[in-house]
Amino acid sequence: MNDAAFIQLDSSKREIAGLLQNLSLSRIEALAMTCLIDGDSLTSSQIENLTGLRQPEVSVAMKPLCEKGIVESWDQKLSKDRGRPRRYYKLKLTFDTFMRNLENDISAEIECKSQALNRLKQICI
C-alpha cells in the first residue's frame, strides 16, 4: 500500500487497511472502510481527507460496499434551498459482524478450492 495515500490515518488504521486489502478488499475499499470502523458517519469529503483518495475514488470504493450491505449512504443538505447535498457513509453492520462474515466467506472459498485441488489430484495422479 502506498504510504502517500495515508494522510490522517494512524498506524493502527494503516495496518487495518493493509490487512483488509490482503484479505479481499481493493486498496480504495480498504482505505474507505477503515475510516468507518469506529462507527462514525462520515461525509465523502471527510473520507477523502483521511485517506488521500479523490472524490471519484471514494464513490467507486463505496459502491460495492453499499451493494453488499456493509455500508449505508444517504444525502443530506445543509440548507433547504442551497447547495449540493453532502453524501454520508456509515457501516451498516458492526465491524465484528463484518469480520465474521468475511471469515465465513474466506473459509467457504478455501473449502471450495481444497475440494477442487483434491479432485484434480484424483484425476491427474
What is the full DSSP assignment across 91-118? ESS-HHHHHHHHHHHHHHHHHHHHHHHH
What is this structure's pTM? Answer: 0.79
All cell numbers assigned to 95: 465491524
pLDDT at res. 7: 58
pLDDT at res. 114: 97
All cell numbers assigned to 79: 440548507
Look at residue 6 and tell me whether its pLDDT is greater than 90: no
Query: What integer best gives the mean pLDDT of the chain?
Result: 90
Domain boundaries, the chain: 3-92, 94-125
What CATH topology corresponds to 3-92? Arc Repressor Mutant, subunit A (1.10.10)
Please report which confidence band the pLDDT of residue 1 belongs to, taking 50, 70 and 90 as the band edges.
very low
Tens of pLDDT along 20-38? 999 989 999 999 999 999 8
